[in-house]
Structure 1
């Protein structure tokens, strides 16, 4: 499986974070969107590799993984911090 490059990961992370921000109705800002999108993709990819043994590849696959992962991170943050 081939991963995305750094620039691609930042672009996909920003888009994934922005979409997750809209889905979860939160206001995080551009930098936090990028961080959430990339971190969400990394965490969910690790979970999928451990449980299923594989993950989605390519731009679209990583975008989907990033969106789901970022939504989970926002949800977890809200559970710990409380909804503001």
Structure 2
């Protein structure tokens, strides 16, 4: 059951990040889930040590969703940088 909730929250985080970075038209549901989960991993590596909050992989809270969201935004910015040569 936790795995299903993890996928749903990852999809929501990926979708929100794609809306913020204006890449929502280029992505489907599956890619939103992948972006959310990989963004949570990046957020866990980069942001969690700075603020002392876990990601959605550690437990679901408002702070963990925000850390995962920032990680997903970082991921999409890196993808945009390599795809278009600039960050939107």
In the superposition, the TM-score normalised over structure 2's length comes to: 0.74
1:14 touches 1:34 (CA, 8 Å); kept in 2?
yes
1:12 touches 1:59 (CA, 8 Å); kept in 2?
no
Deviations 1:41-70 (A, max 9, x none): 112112235x43832453322321221111
Out of 46, 61, 64, the position equivalent to 2:63 is: 61
Q: 5+ residue gaps in structure 1?
A: none
Are 1:39 and 2:38 an aligned pair? yes
Q: 5+ residue gaps in structure 2?
A: none
Aligned structure 1 segments of 4 or more residues deviating by more than 3 angstroms: none
How many matched pairs? 78
**For the aligned residues, what is the CA RMSD?**
2.0
